[in-house]
Amino acid sequence: MPNRFSGHSITCFRGERFVFEALDFSVESGEALVLTGPNGSGKSSLIRIMAGLLAEVDGRLEWNGDPVSETPEDHRARLHYVGYQDAIKPVMTVRENLAFWASLRGPLDGVTGALETVGLGRIAEMPAQFLSSGQRRRLSLARIVASTAEVWLLDEPTVGLDRNAVGILETLVADHRAGGGMAVLATHQPIALGGDEHGLDISRFAARRQIFDDAEVSQ
Amino acid sequence: MIRIMRLLVTRDLRLALRQGSDAAMVIAFFVITVTLFPLGVGPEPNVLARIAAGVVWVTALLATMLSLDRLFQSDYDDGSTDLLILAPVPLELVVLAKVLAHWMLTGLPLILTAPVLAALMNLPEGGYLVLIVSMFLATPTLSLIGSVGAALALGARRGGILISLLVLPLYIPVLIFAVGAVDASITGLTPRPHLLILGAMLAAALPLAPWAAAAALRHSLR
């Protein structure tokens, strides 16, 4: 039976203002959801809410109809989050960086393969401080390959990636979906994730109520 | 559980040793500051002997505090905190592991240096053993209490100063009983009650501090 991850009338309040309100989403096993919207519309916030890093002020997240807030540990165990920060320690080698995060989630068998997959196999023993920004991004993506998780939450995963790496990412997500996983991506670039991915334009849910007037804020 | 603890402690130790100097800086501060006292107060042996335990302990306290702002800050800055919170591991355990690593990098070297500095301050013979025992009981408490302050100050500007303001008042009981233990043993009284109270503080801080610091860490992302 396919699993379903959904959110109902989610409202996000951040930095003294409502970012979006009454937002609904739903993803099922094998599906991909692409979040779009202008800068500041709340794509990152929504992904952080989905991950449980940010609390929604209203609404609820559900897994197969049960509230996620009742079993936060289970929710964390089934998701991978790649944020805009790379969580890379410059003094550790590429392999050590990846191995640490992988070993928090289980065995280490996947590390070498994951580095090969994202094209960092040859520089695995290099200190991470010498990585370019695109290579850092690849290393972040290697985390989702090195250990398995059912839900992938990817915040702007394509930033800094070259064409080749975007291709790798597209294949990864397509394979993940084919294997029964689900993925949520926030991105500005057109990306092919293996067909009939759903789009969600967050600006449709832009909050109408605001605590401060825009004019008042800009002063 | 043990595996995860070891993993986290090794990571922090490895990071600290590779970027170097944090532990060395704490010890250098400890040594230099204590050395200032004979210069400032004057080299009168009796005066130094009377203030020895207090000076060593106050300075150890300040040295510990100096190292607290790095405890969570670098993880916070590079996004590692997000991933640690999302890891399928209790965050309290993560905090406990980080505190253990912090103690190994600051508390332990302080304990090793303290007798030498106490000799410099002319601490009477009877005080050394109790000084070391009191440090073994109290420095972990300092790291534990400090972790709460460090987690609360995350994201604040001038975090270092904020940590001092949060943490120093909480260090006062530790200071009083640690110095009390050493003084008692010098004057021929039993240090036992003081040491028992230090042990009790450690026993209380061990479960409470990681719990509070973990809550503060979760909140820091909001």
Question: Quick check: A81 and B83 CB within 8 A?
Answer: yes
Q: What is the pLDDT of residues A54-82, one digit of tens each?
A: 887 888 899 998 998 888 888 998 999 99
DSSP-derived 3-state class of residue A187: coil
| Option in B14, B79, B222 nearest A85 (CB) | B79
Alpha-carbon gap: B156 to the closest alpha carbon of chain A (Å): 15
pLDDT in tens, A13-61: 887 788 888 888 999 998 899 998 888 888 888 999 999 888 878 888 9
HEC letters along A67-123: EHHHCHHHHHHCEEEECCCCCCCCCCEHHHHHHHHHHHHCCCCHHHHHHHHCCCHHH
Contact A23, A210 (CB under 8 A): no
Residue of B nearest to A147 (CA): B87
Asked if residue A216 has pLDDT above 50, the reply is no
From chain B, the residues in CB contact with A83 under 8 A are 79, 82
CA distance B1 to chain A (A): 10
Give the position of tokens 């064409």: A163
Shortest distance between the Cα of B116 and any Cα of chain A, in A, equals 33
pLDDT at A213 over 60: no
Is B44:B50 a contact under the CB 8 Å cutoff?
A: no
- CB-based contact A117:A190 (threshold 8 Å): no
Handedness of CA B213, B214, B215, B217 (dihedral sign): positive
* Each residue's pLDDT tens digit, B113-171: 999 999 999 898 888 999 999 999 999 999 999 999 999 998 777 778 889 899 999 99
Q: Do B83 and A87 touch (CB under 8 A)?
A: yes
DSSP B145-201: HHHHHHHHTTT-TTHHHHHHHHHHHHHHHHHHHHHHHHHHHHTTS--HHHHHHHHHH
* pLDDT one-digit tens code per residue, B213-222: 999 998 887 6
Distance CA B91, CA A144 (A): 21
The pLDDT value given to residue A188: 83
**Which residues of chain A are at the B interface, by a Cβ-Cβ cutoff of 8 Å?**
48, 51-55, 73, 76-77, 79, 81, 83-89, 91-92, 96, 100-101, 103-105
Q: Are strands A79-82 and A66-67 parallel, antiparallel or unpaired?
A: unpaired
Nearest CA in chain A to B222: A54
% pLDDT > 90, chain A: 37
Identify the DSSP state of B12. Answer: H
Which residues from A are below 8 Å from B18, CB to CB? 91-92
Nearest to B19 among A53, A81, A91 (CB): A91
Out of A48, A84, A105, the one facing B88 most closely (by C-beta) is A105
Kindly list the residues from chain A whose CB atom is less than 8 angstroms away from the CB atom of residue B7. Answer: 100, 103-104
Rounded to a whole number of angstroms, the distance from the CA of B134 to the nearest CA of chain A is 35
For residue B15, is pLDDT > 80?
yes
User: Which of B4, B11, B78 has the CB atom closest to A86's CB atom?
Assistant: B78
Cα-based torsion angle of the residue sequence B3, B5, B10, B16 in order, rounded to the nearest 10 degrees: 170
C-alpha A112/C-alpha A95 separation (Å) is 8
In this prediction, residue A108 carries a pLDDT of: 79
How many Cβ atoms from other residues are within 10 Å of residue B46's Cβ?
7
Per DSSP, what are the bridge partners of residue B180? none
Q: What is the ipTM of this complex?
A: 0.87
Nearest CA in chain B to A13: B222
Q: Tokens representing A114?
A: 């994951």
Distance of alpha carbon B2 from alpha carbon A212, whole angstroms: 50
Q: Does B86 contact A92 at a Cβ distance shorter than 8 Å? A: no
Q: Angle, nearest 10°, between helix axes B128-152 and B91-102? A: 140
- Please answer yes or no on whether A92 and B78 come within 8 Å at the CB atom: no
pLDDT bucket at A210, cuts 50 / 70 / 90 = low
CA A80 to CA B165: how far, in whole Å? 37
Contact between chains at B82 and A89 (C-beta distance less than 8 A) = no
Among candidates B79, B82, B87 on the partner chain, residue whose Cβ is nearest the Cβ of A104: B87
Contact between B97 and B9 under an 8 Å Cβ cutoff? The reply is yes
Q: What's the pLDDT tens digit per position in B45-102?
A: 889 998 999 999 999 999 999 889 888 988 998 889 999 999 888 999 999 999 999 9
CB A153 within 8 A of CB A79: yes
Q: Do A84 and B7 touch (CB under 8 A)?
A: no
Would you give the DSSP letter of residue A206? Answer: B
Which residues of chain B are within 8 Å of residue A96 when distances are taken between CB atoms?
A: 14
CA B65 vs CA A15, B115, B118, B160: distances in Å: 31, 20, 20, 9
Q: Which of A87, A100, A105 sits opposite B11 (nearest CB)?
A: A100
Distant-in-sequence, close-in-space partners of B1: CB < 8 Å, separation ≥ 6: B93
What is the pLDDT confidence band of residue A159, given thresholds at 50, 70 and 90? confident
Contact A103 B11 (CB under 8 A): no
